[in-house]
Structure formats: structure tokens, C-alpha cells
């Protein structure tokens, strides 16, 4: 099993993802510079958080044109796993690997704090180690996390179980008060129809050690590792 | 030859930044301001040897492929043959 962590100019959560995968998941990881075009040998690729290309034009808009993204599209089409976190989620939406778009937060603030998110679909390779409706405490740190999509896309995603995480309160209720950015229907993370591409605004790689306030993020990475192991068996 | 590209949010998309600007405009004392929407403006300098149609076609392709996100934005193109 081998993970890759993409590195764009301006990525700044790449080392966090690397640390979690190597230390807490215990699997080999490589950094992959955005000019690479070969992803053979990898089972999963993390598109990490940060400010790729300085968030110029739109968050994630310019990273889409990096050479590695052509390879990521082929990689995803082969059914391999692609996991976008924060800016990585924005990049995957801009690249058309996930539906919708992430706009400026409704409150216009850069929000940096722990939030609760609820597992809406425990049947994805990224959530299978957790029960449905489990509430995770995971930090967010973004100004553009306000998920938008048209009504038809939203209905299709609901029907297909593509809404994977919703912002919620301590009791697991997806209330308006628990929504930190105005995201449609409290959406915090979604997957594609084939369930091998996930994007989420919260940072599970920053929630893998008690010292950092929560280790709830580990189960997301472990779910993924379990599924890769099961596929290889 | 210059192409001017205007990128605007689709009418159905809320614009929190435009709303904040609207609020500030009202604080300045301007009255009867119905709404403010924020967009983006690009100037693309093109080879003077090409036709207006070619300039429009090129600018529209650039707008579609990169300048606008079709999920949330619309765009329009104005070609100025004398623009430098």
C-alpha cells in the first residue's frame, strides 16, 4: 500500500498529511510535486490543504492546470482513491472531479476552530470504520468553504449518498448555528458517484493526536487504509 | 486588439461580499441603493493581426476554460479592436 501527497506551490498541510499517514496509519508515503505526471504505484493520493497559487482567481482554480492534475483524473477514473482536504476539496471541485463549488464564507470571516461534523454515509471507503451519525470533532480553517450547487445536483447527491459529512451541533443535529460558513444543507464533505473521490473542508489530518484536541480524524485515514488493504487481499 | 471579459455571479448565487459592500455604501450615506454584486474584470491583449471574430472566440474560450467557474458564474466578452 502506498500513499502520495500532492504538493503545489502554496500547499501547507502536505507535511501534516504525510505525518499522519506515516505515523498513525503506518504506511509508506511520498510527496508528489505538482509537475509529476506519473502516479503509477500509488493506491491513494491526498490533495492537501493550503493556498495553492495564492488562491489567485478562485481558490483551487489555478492548481487544476498543474501537470499532475491530468494524472489525478486518470487515477480517479481507474477507481483509485483521491482525497481532497480544504484547498484540496476546492481543487477537486474546480477540476470537475467533484460537483459544485466552494464560495466565500457567508459570514465573510476566515473561520479557524474545531467544529462537529456528522458521518452521513458510513458506506464509503473513507468512512467505513465509523458508524453512521457518529459526530467527529475536526478543525476547519478556511475563508472559502461555503459549498454551493444547483438543486438538481443537490437532489442527485442526496439520493446517491454523496453527502458524506455535515456540520452539526454537539448532539449531532445539523442546525443553522452549527454551520460555520453558510454551506448548502450544512455540507462539510462530499464524494463522487463511484465513492473513490472525497472532498471535505475540515482537516482530519490536524485531528489525529489527543495533544491537538482530538484524534477523531484518524478513523477517516484508517477507513481508507482498511479499504485499500481489502482490495489488495 | 483587446478583449474585455466580465465575470459575474449567477443571479441565483448569493454574494456575501457584495452584500457587505452594499452595507458600507449605505453607511456612507448613499440612499436608494437596491443591491451591489461583486464580479471580476479581465483585459486580454491579443495579437493586433487577428480579426475581431477570432479575438472574441479566443477570449470566450479563455473565459470558459479558466476565468469563470460555470457552476457559479456567467461571463460576457467585449472586443475593442483599437484597444492596446
Q: What is the pLDDT of residues B30-71, one digit of tens each?
A: 999 999 999 999 999 999 899 999 999 999 999 999 999 999
Beta-carbon contacts of residue B57 (< 8 Å; ≥ 6 apart): none
Which grid coordinates belong to B41?
474584470
* Alpha-carbon gap: A100 to the closest alpha carbon of chain B (Å): 6
Instruction: Say if the Cβ atoms of B72 and A107 lie within 8 Å.
Output: no
Name the residue range of residue A35's domain: 3-232
Distance in angstroms (rounded) separating the CA atoms of residues B57 and A112:
43
Beta-carbon contacts of residue B40 (< 8 Å; ≥ 6 apart): B6, B7, B67
Instruction: Say if the Cβ atoms of A105 and B71 lie within 8 Å.
Output: no
Sign of CA dihedral A71, A31, A19, A14: negative
Distance in angstroms (rounded) separating the CA atoms of residues A134 and A224:
17
Number of domains into which chain A is organized? 1
Beta-carbon contacts of residue A159 (< 8 Å; ≥ 6 apart): none
**Burial class of residue A20 in the structure, from the number of CB atoms within 10 Å of its CB (0-12 exposed, 13-18 middle, 19+ buried):** buried
Q: Domain B2-80 is in which class?
A: alpha beta
Distance in angstroms (rounded) separating the CA atoms of residues A140 and A109:
12
Distance in angstroms (rounded) separating the CA atoms of residues A117 and A122:
13
* β-bridge mates for residue A30, sequence order: A4
Report yes or no: A30 and A4 within 8 Å, Cβ to Cβ: yes
Report yes or no: A111 and A105 within 8 Å, Cβ to Cβ: yes
When scoring B13, B24, B71 by the number of chain A Cβ atoms within 10 A, the one with the most, hence best to mutate, is: B71
What stretches in chain A show pLDDT beneath 50?
Answer: none
**Burial class of residue A141 in the structure, from the number of CB atoms within 10 Å of its CB (0-12 exposed, 13-18 middle, 19+ buried):** middle
pLDDT of residue B52: 96
Chain B touched by A93 (CB under 8 Å): yes
Other C-beta atoms within 10 Å of A96: how many?
11
Chain B touched by A150 (CB under 8 Å): yes
Residue ranges per structural domain of chain B: 2-80
Q: Is A36 a catalytic residue?
A: no
Q: For chain B, what's the residue count? A: 84
Q: Is A203 a catalytic residue?
A: yes
Beta-carbon contacts of residue B43 (< 8 Å; ≥ 6 apart): B2, B3, B4, B5, B83
pLDDT of residue B84: 75
What is the percent of chain B with per-residue pLDDT over 90, rounded to a whole number? 93
Give the residue on A whose Cα is nearest the Cα of B14. Answer: A106
pLDDT of residue A233: 85
Catalytic member of A94, A142, A149, A203 = A203
- Nearest 5°: CA angle at A109, between A203 and A100? 60
CATH number (domain holding residue A78): 3.40.50.880
Distance in angstroms (rounded) separating the CA atoms of residues B25 and B21:
6
Please tell me whether the interface predicted TM-score (ipTM) of this complex is above 0.90: no
pLDDT of residue A37: 97
Give the residue on A whose Cα is nearest the Cα of B42. Answer: A57
Catalytic member of A86, A168, A191, A208 = A86
Chain B positions touching chain A (beta carbons under 8 Å): 12-14, 16-17, 20, 66-67, 69, 71-72
Amino acid at each position: 500500500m502506498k500513499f502520495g501527497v500532492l504538493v503545489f506551490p502554496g500547499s501547507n498541510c502536505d507535511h501534516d498529511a504525510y505525518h499522519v499517514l506515516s505515523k498513525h496509519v503506518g504506511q509508506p508515503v511520498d510527496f508528489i510535486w505538482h509537475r509529476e505526471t506519473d502516479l503509477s504505484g500509488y493506491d491513494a493520493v491526498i490533495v492537501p490543504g493550503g493556498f495553492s497559487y495564492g488562491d489567485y482567481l478562485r481558490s483551487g482554480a489555478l492548481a487544476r492546470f498543474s501537470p499532475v492534475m491530468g494524472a489525478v483524473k486518470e487515477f480517479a477514473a481507474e477507481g483509485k482513491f483521491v482525497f481532497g482536504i480544504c484547498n484540496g476539496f476546492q481543487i477537486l471541485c474546480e477540476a470537475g472531479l467533484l460537483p459544485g463549488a466552494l464560495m466565500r464564507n457567508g459570514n465573510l470571516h476566515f473561520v479557524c476552530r474545531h467544529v462537529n461534523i456528522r458521518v452521513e454515509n458510513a458506506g464509503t471507503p473513507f468512512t467505513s470504520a465509523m458508524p453512521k451519525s457518529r459526530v467527529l470533532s475536526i478543525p476547519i480553517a478556511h475563508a472559502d468553504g461555503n459549498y454551493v450547487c444547483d438543486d438538481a445536483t443537490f437532489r442527485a447527491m442526496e439520493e446517491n449518498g454523496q453527502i458524506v459529512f455535515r456540520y452539526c451541533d454537539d448532539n449531532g443535529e445539523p442546525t443553522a448555528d452549527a454551520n460555520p460558513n453558510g454551506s448548502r444543507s450544512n455540507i462539510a464533505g462530499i464524494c463522487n458517484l463511484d465513492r473513490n473521490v472525497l472532498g471535505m473542508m475540515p482537516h482530519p489530518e490536524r485531528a489525529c493526536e489527543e495533544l491537538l484536541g482530538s484524534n477523531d480524524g484518524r478513523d477517516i485515514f484508517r477507513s481508507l487504509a482498511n479499504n485499500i488493504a481489502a482490495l489488495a487481499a | 486588439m483587446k478583449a474585455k471579459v466580465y465575470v459575474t455571479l449567477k443571479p441565483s448565487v448569493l454574494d456575501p461580499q457584495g452584500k457587505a459592500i452594499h452595507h458600507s455604501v449605505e453607511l456612507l450615506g448613499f440612499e436608494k441603493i437596491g443591491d451591489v454584486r461583486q464580479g471580476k474584470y479581465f483585459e486580454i491583449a491579443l495579437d493586433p493581426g487577428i480579426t475581431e471574430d477570432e479575438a472574441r472566440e479566443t477570449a470566450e474560450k479563455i473565459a470558459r476554460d479558466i476565468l469563470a467557474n460555470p457552476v457559479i458564474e456567467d461571463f460576457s466578452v467585449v472586443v475593442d479592436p483599437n484597444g492596446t
